[in-house]
Structure 1
Amino acid sequence: MAEMASYEEQYLKPIEIDRRQCVYISKRNHEVLTSLIRSLSQKGLTVGGYIDNVITEHLEKHKAEINHIYRRERNDLI
């Protein structure tokens, strides 16, 4: 159950997005995420907020690899 609590703390937390950007995801992923978000009583959590939480964690986790790929021709991106 600690793993579930950690997941909730990492991804199912509302965030404030002050400047929105349009991003396209598959219809299936949108349906799954919408169902998940609606089933929770977490006030303020949105599909966009969830996606932002996931992407933030992904970028941090893979920072070295991303920078290595980017740096092949340039300086660090992140």
Structure 2
Amino acid sequence: MKLRNRKEPEETMAEMASYAEQYLKPVEIDRRGCVYISKRNHEILCSLIRSINQKGLTIGGYIDNVITEHLEQHKAEINHIYRRERNDLI
């Protein structure tokens, strides 16, 4: 049986605040585009957003925040793959 590493309450609260600050903020989306996610992920996000009940926070805004952070975090790798694929195109 694997034991979970328990964190101090202060550390957990700081992580939770950081998470909320990063992902649970409303985003103004000026142009919309349709994307598809799994039914399970949609249900989870619906429950999460509904339970937070923060004015202006939407599933689309949450997903946009997650994708923005992901693209920034993996910028170098994404650019490398993009350049490699562009050079091999012809």
Do they superpose with TM above 0.5? yes
**SS of the residue 2:36 aligns to:** coil
Q: CA deviation at 1:55?
A: 0.2
| Counterparts of 2:38 and 2:16, CA distance in 1 | 25
The answer for the alignment partner of 1:28 in structure 2 is 40
Q: Deviation per CA, 1:1-44: give whole Å up to 9, x if none.
A: 11100000000000100110000000000000000000012100
> Which residue, 33, 48, 51 being the options, matches 2:63?
51
| Counterparts of 2:85 and 2:35, CA distance in 1 | 27
Over the matched positions of the two proteins, sequence identity in percent amounts to 88
| Counterparts of 1:73 and 1:19, CA distance in 2 | 28
Unaligned runs of 5+ in 2: 1-12
Q: Name the count of aligned residue pairs.
A: 75
Q: What TM-score results when the alignment is normalised by the length of structure 1?
A: 0.92
The structure 1 segments of at least 4 consecutive aligned residues displaced by more than 3 Å after TM superposition are: none
RMSD over aligned CA atoms reads 1.1
The answer for the alignment partner of 1:19 in structure 2 is 31
